Structure 1
Protein backbone atom coordinates (compact mmCIF):
# COMPACT_ATOMS: atom_id res chain seq x y z
CA UNK A 1 0.00 0.00 0.00
CA UNK A 2 2.89 2.35 0.66
CA UNK A 3 3.82 2.31 -3.02
CA UNK A 4 0.25 3.12 -4.04
CA UNK A 5 0.10 5.99 -1.55
CA UNK A 6 3.38 7.43 -2.83
CA UNK A 7 2.15 7.24 -6.42
CA UNK A 8 -1.08 9.01 -5.48
CA UNK A 9 0.89 11.82 -3.86
CA UNK A 10 3.41 12.16 -6.71
CA UNK A 11 0.81 12.28 -9.46
CA UNK A 12 -1.29 14.94 -7.79
CA UNK A 13 1.61 16.97 -6.39
CA UNK A 14 1.94 19.27 -9.46
CA UNK A 15 -1.52 20.65 -8.64
CA UNK A 16 -0.01 22.10 -5.48
CA UNK A 17 3.59 22.83 -6.41
CA UNK A 18 2.81 24.95 -9.46
CA UNK A 19 2.01 27.86 -7.10
CA UNK A 20 5.76 28.38 -6.61
CA UNK A 21 6.35 28.97 -10.33
CA UNK A 22 3.28 30.52 -11.97
CA UNK A 23 3.27 34.25 -12.74
CA UNK A 24 -0.11 34.67 -11.05
CA UNK A 25 1.58 34.29 -7.69
CA UNK A 26 4.31 36.82 -8.34
CA UNK A 27 1.82 39.33 -9.73
CA UNK A 28 -0.53 39.11 -6.78
CA UNK A 29 2.28 39.35 -4.24
CA UNK A 30 3.74 42.33 -6.09
CA UNK A 31 0.35 44.04 -6.02
CA UNK A 32 0.58 43.83 -2.24
CA UNK A 33 4.10 45.25 -2.28
CA UNK A 34 6.17 42.06 -2.04
CA UNK A 35 8.61 40.96 -4.71
CA UNK A 36 10.86 37.98 -5.27
CA UNK A 37 11.50 35.64 -2.37
CA UNK A 38 9.66 37.91 0.05
CA UNK A 39 6.44 36.83 -1.63
CA UNK A 40 7.35 33.18 -1.30
CA UNK A 41 8.40 33.23 2.34
CA UNK A 42 5.48 35.41 3.41
CA UNK A 43 2.81 33.57 1.40
CA UNK A 44 3.80 30.13 2.67
CA UNK A 45 4.75 31.24 6.17
CA UNK A 46 1.64 33.37 6.75
CA UNK A 47 -0.20 30.33 8.12
CA UNK A 48 1.79 31.03 11.31
CA UNK A 49 0.58 34.63 11.43
CA UNK A 50 3.34 37.23 11.52
CA UNK A 51 5.97 34.52 11.28
CA UNK A 52 9.50 35.29 12.40
CA UNK A 53 12.46 34.50 10.19
CA UNK A 54 13.53 31.91 12.76
CA UNK A 55 10.24 30.03 12.54
CA UNK A 56 10.42 29.90 8.74
CA UNK A 57 14.08 28.86 8.82
CA UNK A 58 13.13 25.98 11.11
CA UNK A 59 10.07 24.76 9.23
CA UNK A 60 11.19 25.34 5.62
CA UNK A 61 14.50 23.71 6.58
CA UNK A 62 16.86 24.08 3.62
CA UNK A 63 17.11 27.81 2.87
CA UNK A 64 20.10 29.95 3.75
CA UNK A 65 18.97 31.76 6.92
CA UNK A 66 20.33 35.05 5.59
CA UNK A 67 17.97 34.80 2.62
CA UNK A 68 14.96 34.35 4.89
CA UNK A 69 15.99 37.24 7.11
CA UNK A 70 16.03 39.58 4.11
CA UNK A 71 12.27 39.04 3.80
CA UNK A 72 11.02 38.42 7.32
CA UNK A 73 9.81 39.99 9.51
CA UNK A 74 9.98 43.05 7.19
CA UNK A 75 7.20 41.66 4.97
CA UNK A 76 4.69 42.15 7.80
CA UNK A 77 5.25 45.90 7.63
CA UNK A 78 3.84 45.73 4.08
CA UNK A 79 1.07 43.11 4.21
CA UNK A 80 -0.99 41.20 6.73
CA UNK A 81 -0.90 37.41 6.81
CA UNK A 82 -4.57 37.36 5.84
CA UNK A 83 -3.94 39.48 2.75
CA UNK A 84 -1.18 37.32 1.38
CA UNK A 85 -2.92 34.04 2.19
CA UNK A 86 -5.88 35.27 0.17
CA UNK A 87 -3.56 36.33 -2.66
CA UNK A 88 -1.90 32.91 -2.71
CA UNK A 89 -5.22 31.05 -2.85
CA UNK A 90 -6.53 33.31 -5.60
CA UNK A 91 -3.31 32.96 -7.61
CA UNK A 92 -3.48 29.17 -7.39
CA UNK A 93 -7.06 29.11 -8.62
CA UNK A 94 -6.32 31.53 -11.46
CA UNK A 95 -3.38 29.46 -12.67
CA UNK A 96 -5.25 26.15 -12.56
CA UNK A 97 -8.20 27.68 -14.40
CA UNK A 98 -5.90 29.22 -17.00
CA UNK A 99 -4.60 25.74 -17.68
CA UNK A 100 -8.12 24.29 -17.85
CA UNK A 101 -7.48 21.91 -14.93
CA UNK A 102 -10.92 22.73 -13.50
CA UNK A 103 -12.55 21.27 -16.61
CA UNK A 104 -10.89 17.85 -16.48
CA UNK A 105 -13.21 14.89 -15.93
CA UNK A 106 -13.10 13.18 -12.57
CA UNK A 107 -12.57 16.34 -10.54
CA UNK A 108 -15.31 15.53 -8.03
CA UNK A 109 -14.07 12.00 -7.33
CA UNK A 110 -10.42 13.09 -7.22
CA UNK A 111 -11.28 15.83 -4.76
CA UNK A 112 -13.31 13.45 -2.62
CA UNK A 113 -10.39 11.07 -2.20
CA UNK A 114 -7.77 13.78 -1.72
CA UNK A 115 -9.89 15.62 0.82
CA UNK A 116 -10.58 12.41 2.74
CA UNK A 117 -6.82 11.77 2.96
CA UNK A 118 -6.13 15.36 4.02
CA UNK A 119 -8.80 15.26 6.71
CA UNK A 120 -7.43 11.93 7.98
CA UNK A 121 -3.98 13.52 8.22
CA UNK A 122 -5.48 16.28 10.36
CA UNK A 123 -5.95 13.70 13.11
CA UNK A 124 -2.16 13.36 13.34
CA UNK A 125 -0.88 16.85 14.12
CA UNK A 126 1.87 16.03 16.59
CA UNK A 127 5.33 17.00 15.37
CA UNK A 128 4.05 18.55 12.13
CA UNK A 129 4.04 22.33 12.67
CA UNK A 130 3.76 23.56 9.08
CA UNK A 131 0.99 21.10 8.30
CA UNK A 132 -0.85 21.89 11.55
CA UNK A 133 -0.81 25.60 10.72
CA UNK A 134 -2.31 24.89 7.27
CA UNK A 135 -5.07 22.81 8.86
CA UNK A 136 -6.42 25.97 10.48
CA UNK A 137 -7.17 27.52 7.08
CA UNK A 138 -10.78 27.29 5.85
CA UNK A 139 -11.61 25.09 2.89
CA UNK A 140 -12.27 27.15 -0.27
CA UNK A 141 -15.67 27.12 -1.93
CA UNK A 142 -14.90 25.96 -5.48
CA UNK A 143 -13.88 22.35 -6.29
CA UNK A 144 -10.62 23.21 -8.09
CA UNK A 145 -9.58 25.48 -5.21
CA UNK A 146 -10.46 22.72 -2.78
CA UNK A 147 -8.31 20.25 -4.72
CA UNK A 148 -5.35 22.63 -4.52
CA UNK A 149 -5.93 23.06 -0.79
CA UNK A 150 -6.23 19.30 -0.22
CA UNK A 151 -2.96 18.60 -2.01
CA UNK A 152 -1.31 21.50 -0.18
CA UNK A 153 -2.26 19.86 3.10
CA UNK A 154 -0.96 16.49 1.93
CA UNK A 155 2.28 18.08 0.72
CA UNK A 156 2.93 19.85 4.03
CA UNK A 157 2.03 16.70 5.99
CA UNK A 158 4.57 14.74 3.99
CA UNK A 159 7.09 17.57 4.16
CA UNK A 160 7.05 17.74 7.95
CA UNK A 161 7.61 13.98 8.02
CA UNK A 162 10.49 14.34 5.57
CA UNK A 163 12.19 16.89 7.81
CA UNK A 164 11.76 14.54 10.77
CA UNK A 165 13.46 11.78 8.76
CA UNK A 166 16.33 14.07 7.78
CA UNK A 167 16.84 15.19 11.36
CA UNK A 168 16.80 11.64 12.66
CA UNK A 169 19.61 10.77 10.23
CA UNK A 170 21.63 13.86 11.09
CA UNK A 171 21.21 15.42 7.64
CA UNK A 172 21.09 19.23 7.68
CA UNK A 173 19.14 21.33 5.22
CA UNK A 174 22.20 22.16 3.14
CA UNK A 175 23.37 18.55 3.21
CA UNK A 176 19.94 17.45 2.01
CA UNK A 177 20.18 19.86 -0.93
CA UNK A 178 23.61 18.59 -1.94
CA UNK A 179 22.54 14.95 -1.71
CA UNK A 180 19.44 15.76 -3.75
CA UNK A 181 21.52 17.43 -6.44
CA UNK A 182 23.97 14.51 -6.43
CA UNK A 183 21.07 12.15 -7.16
CA UNK A 184 20.55 13.84 -10.53
CA UNK A 185 16.88 14.59 -9.84
CA UNK A 186 17.44 18.35 -9.82
CA UNK A 187 20.29 20.57 -10.96
CA UNK A 188 22.87 21.95 -8.58
CA UNK A 189 22.56 25.34 -10.26
CA UNK A 190 18.84 25.61 -9.50
CA UNK A 191 19.29 24.67 -5.84
CA UNK A 192 22.19 27.08 -5.38
CA UNK A 193 20.22 29.96 -6.85
CA UNK A 194 16.91 29.25 -5.14
CA UNK A 195 18.33 28.42 -1.68
CA UNK A 196 21.10 31.03 -1.81
CA UNK A 197 23.82 29.22 0.14
CA UNK A 198 27.27 30.84 -0.26
CA UNK A 199 29.55 28.98 -2.66
CA UNK A 200 32.22 28.41 -0.02
CA UNK A 201 29.70 26.95 2.44
CA UNK A 202 28.26 24.70 -0.24
CA UNK A 203 31.74 23.47 -1.21
CA UNK A 204 32.78 22.87 2.40
CA UNK A 205 29.61 20.90 3.12
CA UNK A 206 30.07 18.90 -0.07
CA UNK A 207 33.58 17.98 1.07
CA UNK A 208 32.29 16.84 4.46
CA UNK A 209 29.79 14.57 2.72
CA UNK A 210 32.65 13.06 0.71
CA UNK A 211 34.54 12.46 3.93
CA UNK A 212 31.47 10.70 5.34
CA UNK A 213 31.44 8.45 2.30
CA UNK A 214 28.11 9.74 1.00
CA UNK A 215 29.49 11.31 -2.18
CA UNK A 216 31.75 9.93 -4.86
CA UNK A 217 32.98 13.06 -6.57
CA UNK A 218 29.79 14.99 -7.30
CA UNK A 219 27.48 11.98 -7.41
CA UNK A 220 26.07 9.76 -4.71
CA UNK A 221 28.19 6.89 -3.49
CA UNK A 222 26.59 3.53 -2.78
CA UNK A 223 26.28 4.59 0.85
CA UNK A 224 24.78 7.91 -0.19
CA UNK A 225 22.21 6.20 -2.39
CA UNK A 226 21.29 3.88 0.46
CA UNK A 227 20.85 6.82 2.85
CA UNK A 228 18.65 8.75 0.43
CA UNK A 229 16.52 5.68 -0.21
CA UNK A 230 16.18 5.09 3.52
CA UNK A 231 15.04 8.68 4.05
CA UNK A 232 12.54 8.46 1.20
CA UNK A 233 11.20 5.15 2.53
CA UNK A 234 10.89 6.61 6.01
CA UNK A 235 9.12 9.66 4.59
CA UNK A 236 6.66 7.39 2.79
CA UNK A 237 5.97 5.55 6.02
CA UNK A 238 5.42 8.76 7.97
CA UNK A 239 2.95 9.95 5.31
CA UNK A 240 0.82 6.83 5.63
CA UNK A 241 -1.65 8.14 8.28
CA UNK A 242 -3.16 10.30 5.55
CA UNK A 243 -3.57 7.52 3.01
CA UNK A 244 -4.52 4.63 5.28
CA UNK A 245 -7.99 6.15 5.38
CA UNK A 246 -8.34 5.40 1.65
CA UNK A 247 -7.07 1.83 1.79
CA UNK A 248 -4.93 0.39 -0.97
CA UNK A 249 -7.75 0.39 -3.51
CA UNK A 250 -8.55 4.02 -2.72
CA UNK A 251 -4.90 4.99 -3.11
CA UNK A 252 -4.70 3.22 -6.45
CA UNK A 253 -7.89 4.93 -7.58
CA UNK A 254 -6.58 8.34 -6.51
CA UNK A 255 -3.33 7.68 -8.37
CA UNK A 256 -5.31 6.75 -11.49
CA UNK A 257 -7.54 9.80 -11.27
CA UNK A 258 -4.66 12.15 -10.43
CA UNK A 259 -2.60 11.34 -13.51
CA UNK A 260 -4.40 13.71 -15.95
CA UNK A 261 -4.44 16.49 -13.37
CA UNK A 262 -0.70 16.31 -12.78
CA UNK A 263 0.03 15.90 -16.47
CA UNK A 264 -2.26 18.79 -17.30
CA UNK A 265 -0.32 21.09 -15.00
CA UNK A 266 2.97 20.02 -16.58
CA UNK A 267 1.66 20.26 -20.15
CA UNK A 268 0.38 23.77 -19.52
CA UNK A 269 3.85 24.86 -18.41
CA UNK A 270 2.75 25.77 -14.89
CA UNK A 271 5.94 24.28 -13.44
CA UNK A 272 8.25 26.17 -15.77
CA UNK A 273 10.41 28.54 -13.75
CA UNK A 274 9.91 32.12 -14.78
CA UNK A 275 7.05 31.37 -17.15
Structure 2
Protein backbone atom coordinates (compact mmCIF):
# COMPACT_ATOMS: atom_id res chain seq x y z
CA UNK A 1 0.00 0.00 0.00
CA UNK A 2 1.07 3.59 -0.66
CA UNK A 3 2.54 5.25 2.41
CA UNK A 4 -0.04 7.91 3.34
CA UNK A 5 2.46 9.85 5.44
CA UNK A 6 4.97 10.16 2.61
CA UNK A 7 2.23 11.03 0.13
CA UNK A 8 1.01 13.81 2.41
CA UNK A 9 4.54 15.14 2.86
CA UNK A 10 5.18 15.12 -0.89
CA UNK A 11 1.98 17.07 -1.53
CA UNK A 12 2.24 19.47 1.41
CA UNK A 13 5.87 20.43 0.86
CA UNK A 14 5.25 21.23 -2.79
CA UNK A 15 1.89 22.94 -2.23
CA UNK A 16 3.44 26.44 -1.91
CA UNK A 17 4.56 26.10 -5.53
CA UNK A 18 0.91 25.92 -6.60
CA UNK A 19 -0.64 28.13 -3.92
CA UNK A 20 1.54 31.13 -4.67
CA UNK A 21 -0.59 31.84 -7.77
CA UNK A 22 -3.37 33.12 -5.48
CA UNK A 23 -1.13 35.67 -3.78
CA UNK A 24 1.63 36.75 -6.13
CA UNK A 25 1.42 40.21 -7.73
CA UNK A 26 2.31 38.73 -11.12
CA UNK A 27 -1.15 37.15 -11.23
CA UNK A 28 -2.99 40.20 -9.93
CA UNK A 29 -1.35 42.40 -12.56
CA UNK A 30 -2.27 40.11 -15.42
CA UNK A 31 -5.86 39.72 -14.31
CA UNK A 32 -6.13 43.49 -13.95
CA UNK A 33 -4.90 43.87 -17.53
CA UNK A 34 -7.85 41.71 -18.57
CA UNK A 35 -10.27 43.94 -16.69
CA UNK A 36 -10.60 41.75 -13.60
CA UNK A 37 -10.26 42.93 -10.01
CA UNK A 38 -8.65 40.81 -7.30
CA UNK A 39 -11.63 38.61 -6.53
CA UNK A 40 -12.90 38.27 -10.09
CA UNK A 41 -9.37 37.28 -11.06
CA UNK A 42 -9.28 34.58 -8.41
CA UNK A 43 -12.63 33.00 -9.21
CA UNK A 44 -12.27 33.32 -12.97
CA UNK A 45 -8.71 31.97 -13.08
CA UNK A 46 -9.36 28.90 -10.96
CA UNK A 47 -12.67 28.16 -12.70
CA UNK A 48 -11.59 28.96 -16.27
CA UNK A 49 -10.82 25.29 -16.93
CA UNK A 50 -14.61 24.75 -16.88
CA UNK A 51 -15.11 27.34 -19.61
CA UNK A 52 -17.33 30.35 -18.79
CA UNK A 53 -18.29 28.91 -15.41
CA UNK A 54 -21.50 30.01 -13.74
CA UNK A 55 -21.46 31.25 -10.13
CA UNK A 56 -23.48 28.16 -9.16
CA UNK A 57 -20.79 25.84 -10.50
CA UNK A 58 -18.08 27.73 -8.60
CA UNK A 59 -20.11 27.83 -5.39
CA UNK A 60 -20.54 24.07 -5.64
CA UNK A 61 -16.96 23.14 -6.44
CA UNK A 62 -15.01 25.75 -4.45
CA UNK A 63 -17.30 24.83 -1.54
CA UNK A 64 -16.51 27.31 1.24
CA UNK A 65 -16.86 30.78 -0.29
CA UNK A 66 -19.86 32.94 0.51
CA UNK A 67 -22.23 32.63 -2.49
CA UNK A 68 -22.79 36.38 -2.63
CA UNK A 69 -19.05 36.88 -2.99
CA UNK A 70 -18.90 34.53 -5.95
CA UNK A 71 -21.91 36.14 -7.62
CA UNK A 72 -20.26 39.55 -7.46
CA UNK A 73 -17.43 38.18 -9.61
CA UNK A 74 -19.25 35.79 -11.94
CA UNK A 75 -20.60 35.72 -14.56
CA UNK A 76 -19.56 39.39 -14.92
CA UNK A 77 -15.92 38.36 -15.51
CA UNK A 78 -16.92 36.69 -18.76
CA UNK A 79 -18.32 39.98 -20.04
CA UNK A 80 -14.82 41.47 -20.17
CA UNK A 81 -12.60 38.48 -20.98
CA UNK A 82 -12.61 34.80 -21.94
CA UNK A 83 -11.59 31.64 -20.09
CA UNK A 84 -8.84 31.07 -22.65
CA UNK A 85 -7.29 34.47 -21.98
CA UNK A 86 -7.51 33.96 -18.23
CA UNK A 87 -5.81 30.56 -18.44
CA UNK A 88 -3.03 32.07 -20.54
CA UNK A 89 -2.61 34.92 -18.04
CA UNK A 90 -2.48 32.50 -15.13
CA UNK A 91 0.22 30.39 -16.75
CA UNK A 92 2.24 33.46 -17.69
CA UNK A 93 2.03 34.73 -14.11
CA UNK A 94 3.05 31.34 -12.72
CA UNK A 95 6.09 31.21 -15.00
CA UNK A 96 7.30 34.68 -14.07
CA UNK A 97 6.73 34.20 -10.34
CA UNK A 98 8.48 30.83 -10.24
CA UNK A 99 11.45 32.26 -12.11
CA UNK A 100 11.56 35.05 -9.55
CA UNK A 101 11.80 32.35 -6.88
CA UNK A 102 14.67 30.70 -8.76
CA UNK A 103 12.79 27.43 -9.29
CA UNK A 104 14.25 27.11 -12.80
CA UNK A 105 17.74 26.92 -11.30
CA UNK A 106 17.14 24.09 -8.83
CA UNK A 107 19.17 21.07 -10.05
CA UNK A 108 16.45 18.57 -9.12
CA UNK A 109 13.78 20.26 -11.27
CA UNK A 110 13.68 17.57 -13.97
CA UNK A 111 13.70 14.68 -11.51
CA UNK A 112 10.99 16.23 -9.35
CA UNK A 113 8.82 17.13 -12.32
CA UNK A 114 8.99 13.58 -13.68
CA UNK A 115 7.80 12.12 -10.37
CA UNK A 116 5.05 14.67 -9.79
CA UNK A 117 3.80 14.35 -13.35
CA UNK A 118 3.55 10.57 -13.01
CA UNK A 119 1.42 11.01 -9.91
CA UNK A 120 -0.75 13.63 -11.62
CA UNK A 121 -1.26 11.42 -14.66
CA UNK A 122 -2.24 8.49 -12.44
CA UNK A 123 -4.77 10.79 -10.77
CA UNK A 124 -6.20 11.34 -14.23
CA UNK A 125 -7.31 7.71 -14.23
CA UNK A 126 -9.68 8.52 -11.35
CA UNK A 127 -11.70 11.60 -12.35
CA UNK A 128 -15.06 10.30 -11.14
CA UNK A 129 -16.57 12.57 -8.48
CA UNK A 130 -13.75 15.11 -8.86
CA UNK A 131 -15.10 17.87 -11.14
CA UNK A 132 -12.57 20.61 -10.44
CA UNK A 133 -9.69 18.22 -10.90
CA UNK A 134 -11.19 16.75 -14.07
CA UNK A 135 -11.60 20.19 -15.64
CA UNK A 136 -7.94 21.06 -15.02
CA UNK A 137 -6.78 17.60 -16.11
CA UNK A 138 -8.38 18.23 -19.51
CA UNK A 139 -6.09 21.21 -20.12
CA UNK A 140 -2.98 20.57 -22.26
CA UNK A 141 0.32 20.00 -20.53
CA UNK A 142 2.63 23.06 -20.78
CA UNK A 143 5.93 22.68 -22.63
CA UNK A 144 7.84 24.95 -20.22
CA UNK A 145 9.54 22.81 -17.51
CA UNK A 146 8.52 25.28 -14.80
CA UNK A 147 4.89 25.23 -15.87
CA UNK A 148 4.93 21.45 -16.26
CA UNK A 149 5.78 21.12 -12.57
CA UNK A 150 3.28 23.83 -11.61
CA UNK A 151 0.49 22.19 -13.63
CA UNK A 152 1.25 18.76 -12.17
CA UNK A 153 1.03 20.10 -8.62
CA UNK A 154 -2.13 22.01 -9.53
CA UNK A 155 -3.73 18.75 -10.62
CA UNK A 156 -2.70 17.00 -7.40
CA UNK A 157 -4.00 19.95 -5.39
CA UNK A 158 -7.43 19.88 -7.05
CA UNK A 159 -7.54 16.06 -6.89
CA UNK A 160 -7.00 16.24 -3.16
CA UNK A 161 -9.38 19.17 -2.80
CA UNK A 162 -12.26 17.38 -4.49
CA UNK A 163 -11.68 14.43 -2.17
CA UNK A 164 -11.73 16.77 0.82
CA UNK A 165 -15.10 18.15 -0.26
CA UNK A 166 -16.43 14.59 -0.47
CA UNK A 167 -15.17 13.87 3.04
CA UNK A 168 -16.80 17.04 4.39
CA UNK A 169 -20.11 16.21 2.75
CA UNK A 170 -20.04 12.70 4.15
CA UNK A 171 -19.62 14.10 7.65
CA UNK A 172 -22.34 16.74 7.23
CA UNK A 173 -19.89 19.64 7.40
CA UNK A 174 -20.82 22.53 5.12
CA UNK A 175 -18.38 25.05 3.68
CA UNK A 176 -18.86 27.66 6.38
CA UNK A 177 -18.76 25.00 9.10
CA UNK A 178 -15.46 23.73 7.70
CA UNK A 179 -13.96 27.22 7.84
CA UNK A 180 -15.00 27.71 11.45
CA UNK A 181 -13.66 24.33 12.53
CA UNK A 182 -10.41 24.99 10.69
CA UNK A 183 -10.01 28.36 12.39
CA UNK A 184 -10.78 26.82 15.77
CA UNK A 185 -7.99 24.28 15.20
CA UNK A 186 -5.46 27.11 15.29
CA UNK A 187 -3.85 26.09 11.99
CA UNK A 188 -5.05 29.22 10.15
CA UNK A 189 -6.08 32.51 11.78
CA UNK A 190 -9.85 32.93 11.80
CA UNK A 191 -9.50 36.55 10.71
CA UNK A 192 -7.81 35.40 7.49
CA UNK A 193 -10.58 32.90 6.81
CA UNK A 194 -13.23 35.56 7.34
CA UNK A 195 -11.56 38.06 5.02
CA UNK A 196 -10.74 35.55 2.31
CA UNK A 197 -14.11 33.76 2.19
CA UNK A 198 -16.48 36.71 2.51
CA UNK A 199 -19.14 35.40 4.89
CA UNK A 200 -21.20 38.06 6.72
CA UNK A 201 -20.50 38.21 10.44
CA UNK A 202 -24.08 37.28 11.34
CA UNK A 203 -23.95 34.14 9.21
CA UNK A 204 -20.57 33.21 10.69
CA UNK A 205 -21.94 33.67 14.23
CA UNK A 206 -25.05 31.59 13.46
CA UNK A 207 -22.93 28.77 12.07
CA UNK A 208 -20.71 28.89 15.16
CA UNK A 209 -23.77 28.50 17.34
CA UNK A 210 -24.89 25.53 15.27
CA UNK A 211 -21.52 23.86 15.80
CA UNK A 212 -21.79 24.47 19.54
CA UNK A 213 -25.18 22.81 19.54
CA UNK A 214 -23.61 19.81 17.77
CA UNK A 215 -21.01 19.61 20.52
CA UNK A 216 -18.13 20.45 18.19
CA UNK A 217 -17.26 23.84 19.67
CA UNK A 218 -16.89 25.12 23.20
CA UNK A 219 -16.86 28.88 22.90
CA UNK A 220 -14.51 29.34 19.95
CA UNK A 221 -12.40 26.25 20.64
CA UNK A 222 -12.79 22.71 19.40
CA UNK A 223 -14.23 20.16 21.80
CA UNK A 224 -12.81 16.66 21.93
CA UNK A 225 -15.61 15.61 19.58
CA UNK A 226 -14.72 18.46 17.26
CA UNK A 227 -11.05 17.46 17.18
CA UNK A 228 -12.01 13.86 16.50
CA UNK A 229 -14.26 14.91 13.63
CA UNK A 230 -11.59 17.11 12.04
CA UNK A 231 -9.00 14.34 12.30
CA UNK A 232 -11.39 11.86 10.75
CA UNK A 233 -12.00 14.21 7.82
CA UNK A 234 -8.27 14.82 7.34
CA UNK A 235 -7.50 11.11 7.50
CA UNK A 236 -10.18 10.37 4.93
CA UNK A 237 -8.89 13.17 2.69
CA UNK A 238 -5.41 11.62 2.85
CA UNK A 239 -6.84 8.23 1.91
CA UNK A 240 -8.76 9.64 -1.04
CA UNK A 241 -5.57 11.29 -2.37
CA UNK A 242 -3.59 8.03 -2.42
CA UNK A 243 -4.61 6.73 -5.88
CA UNK A 244 -2.42 9.42 -7.47
CA UNK A 245 0.70 8.46 -5.54
CA UNK A 246 0.23 4.76 -6.22
CA UNK A 247 2.08 5.51 -9.47
CA UNK A 248 5.31 5.72 -7.47
CA UNK A 249 7.26 3.03 -5.67
CA UNK A 250 7.98 3.44 -1.97
CA UNK A 251 11.52 4.57 -2.74
CA UNK A 252 10.33 7.05 -5.37
CA UNK A 253 7.72 8.46 -3.02
CA UNK A 254 10.31 8.89 -0.28
CA UNK A 255 12.59 10.63 -2.78
CA UNK A 256 9.78 12.94 -3.87
CA UNK A 257 8.96 13.82 -0.26
CA UNK A 258 12.62 14.75 0.18
CA UNK A 259 12.91 16.78 -3.03
CA UNK A 260 9.72 18.79 -2.64
CA UNK A 261 10.98 20.40 0.54
CA UNK A 262 13.55 22.34 -1.52
CA UNK A 263 10.94 23.72 -3.92
CA UNK A 264 8.40 24.68 -1.29
CA UNK A 265 11.05 26.46 0.75
CA UNK A 266 12.27 28.40 -2.30
CA UNK A 267 8.74 29.72 -2.91
CA UNK A 268 8.31 30.76 0.71
CA UNK A 269 11.76 32.36 0.92
CA UNK A 270 11.06 34.39 -2.22
CA UNK A 271 7.99 35.90 -0.54
CA UNK A 272 5.53 34.60 -3.11
CA UNK A 273 2.94 33.73 -0.48
CA UNK A 274 1.84 37.28 0.26
CA UNK A 275 -1.29 36.63 2.32
CA UNK A 276 -2.02 40.35 2.68
CA UNK A 277 -3.29 40.27 -0.92
CA UNK A 278 -6.45 38.64 0.38
CA UNK A 279 -7.21 41.66 2.50
CA UNK A 280 -7.21 44.10 -0.39
CA UNK A 281 -10.40 45.63 -1.66
CA UNK A 282 -11.95 43.95 -4.65
CA UNK A 283 -13.29 47.26 -5.93
Shorter-chain TM range is: over 0.9
Tell me which residue corresponds to 1:271.
273
Aligned residue pairs, count: 275
SS of the residue corresponding to residue 29 of structure 2 reads: helix
Q: Deviations over 1:195-243 (max 9, x none)?
A: 1101011001001111111112111111111101000000000000000
Q: Give 1:250's aligned residue.
A: 252
* Offset of residue 274 of structure 1: 3.8
Contact 1:157–1:239, Cα closer than 8 Å, also in 2: yes
Cα shift readout 1:111-151 (whole Å, capped 9, x = no counterpart): 00000000000000100000000011111111111000000
Match of 2:201 among 191, 199, 202: 199
Q: Distance in 2 between matches of 1:216 and 1:87?
A: 45
Aligned to 2:116: 114
- Which residue is 2:280 aligned to? none
Q: C-alpha distance in 2, partners of 1:8/1:143? A: 19
Distance across 2 between alignment mates of 1:129 and 1:16: 18
Aligned partner of 1:56 in structure 2 is: 58
The gaps in structure 1 that reach 5 residues or longer are none
SS of residue paired to 1:138: coil
Cα deviation, 1:240-272, whole Å, max 9, x if unaligned, reads 000011132221110101111000101111112
Counterpart in the other structure of 2:37: 35
Q: Secondary structure at the match of 1:70?
A: helix
In structure 1, the partner of 2:183 is 181
**What is the CA RMSD across the aligned residues, in angstroms?**
0.8
Secondary structure of 2:172's counterpart equals: coil
Which residue of the other structure, out of 73, 76, 92, is the alignment partner of 1:74?
76
Measure, in 2, the Cα distance between the counterparts of 1:186 and 1:162: 17
Aligned match of 2:281: none
More divergent stretch after superposition (247-256 vs 40-49): 247-256
TM-score by length of 2: 0.96
Contact 1:22 1:274 in 2 (8 A): no
2:140 equivalent in structure 1: 138
> Alignment partner of 1:270: what SS?
coil
1:7 corresponds to: 9
The answer (yes or no) to whether the contact 1:181–1:187 under 8 Å persists in 2 is yes
- Contiguous gaps of at least 5 residues in structure 2: 278-283
Q: Secondary structure at the match of 2:248?
A: helix
